[in-house]
């Protein structure tokens, strides 16, 4: 891999050298508050998380399950804003260099100003962005929505992605590809879908970018199963549910750390 200053790429390069898989954790920025988000990210880093996805609160998160929808609603009610999320990244950077990906819908960043959002997020210390409802071909056809330098543009591929679209999506991916392992909205599940290994191999035929698998992972055993088939695992709803249950507890960060650490160990075989 060529030299890079992007923290996501540096992390994957290090993990490859170590022969270990990546653990990506998702939380909703601003749940239960933006100040607590800084502490939760610190707890995730202590637990061994390699990359943090921060969800930008949005009033209509159609791809999210009820757990993440409620988290976005709590964050908005607590006063979180898109600009506030960017300020929170600055606060995180005062104490941590963990890679940060912004997980968002197009509406909040379009309202903020598409190019301005990218610039401000990059300057604040974000490393990547995943826009859930912006297909790569649509971005290519609209000059105002084309990728802006500074942030890795993470791409999503799902079981329903047409076979002939996978090469073009994979070719545009930066940082890593997020393979959505099942149909439907986000949320913890009790089983792991079949065919993950085959689909990851299919994606890797068209890109050298690492492939991380998410949607539904909620136990160390599941994390280990998925990590055996991919370059990394993504866990979100299970962590967000814990935050929902203990958001008012003074020891919330330590609870998050204790919960996530076994998941990380499962993924990394530690």
Supply the Cα-derived Rg of the chain in whole angstroms: 17
CA distance linking residue 270 with residue 28, whole number of Å: 27
How many degrees, rounded to 5, is the angle at CA 134 between CA 131 and CA 138? 150
Residue 53 among the catalytic residues: yes
Sheet holding 128-131, edge to edge: 152-153, 128-131, 100-104, 51-55, 22-28, 232-235, 211-214, 177-180, 155-157
Structure tokens at 202: 């299919």
Annotated catalytic residue, options 9, 50, 53, 257: 53
30 φψ region: left (φ > 0), alpha (ψ -120 to 50), beta (else): left
Give the three-state DSSP class for 165. coil
Instruction: Name the pairing type of β-strands 100-104 and 51-55.
Output: parallel
Annotated catalytic residue, options 9, 50, 64, 231: 64
Catalytic (active-site) positions: 53, 64
């Amino acid at each position: 891999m060529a030299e890079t200053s992007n923290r996501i790429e540096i992390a994957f390069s290090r993990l490859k050298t170590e022969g270990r898989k990546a653990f990506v954790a998702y939380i909703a920025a601003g749940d239960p508050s933006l100040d607590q988000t800084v502490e939760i990210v610190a707890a995730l880093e202590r637990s061994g998380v390699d990359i943090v996805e921060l969800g930008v609160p949005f009033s209509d998160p159609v791809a999210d399950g009820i757990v993440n929808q409620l988290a976005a609603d709590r964050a908005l009610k607590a006063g979180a804003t898109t600009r506030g999320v960017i300020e929170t990244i600055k606060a995180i950077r005062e104490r941590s260099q963990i890679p940060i990906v912004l997980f968002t819908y197009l509406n909040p960043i379009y309202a903020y100003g598409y190019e301005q959002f990218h610039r401000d997020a990059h300057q604040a210390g974000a490393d990547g962005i995943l826009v859930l409802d912006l297909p790569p071909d649509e971005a290519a056809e609209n000059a105002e929505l084309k990728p802006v330098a500074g942030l890795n543009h993470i791409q999503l591929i799902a079981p329903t992605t047409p076979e002939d679209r996978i090469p073009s999506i994979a070719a545009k991916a930066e940082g890593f590809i997020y393979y959505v392992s099942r149909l439907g909205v986000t949320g913890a599940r009790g089983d792991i879908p079949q065919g993950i290994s085959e689909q990851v191999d299919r994606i890797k035929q068209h890109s050298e970018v690492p492939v991380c698998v998410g949607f539904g992972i909620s136990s160390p055993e599941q994390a280990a199963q998925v990590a055996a088939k991919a370059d990394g695992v993504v866990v979100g709803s299970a962590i967000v549910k814990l935050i929902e249950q203990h958001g008012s507890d003074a020891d919330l960060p330590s609870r998050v750390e204790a919960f996530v650490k076994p998941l990380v160990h499962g993924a990394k075989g530690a």
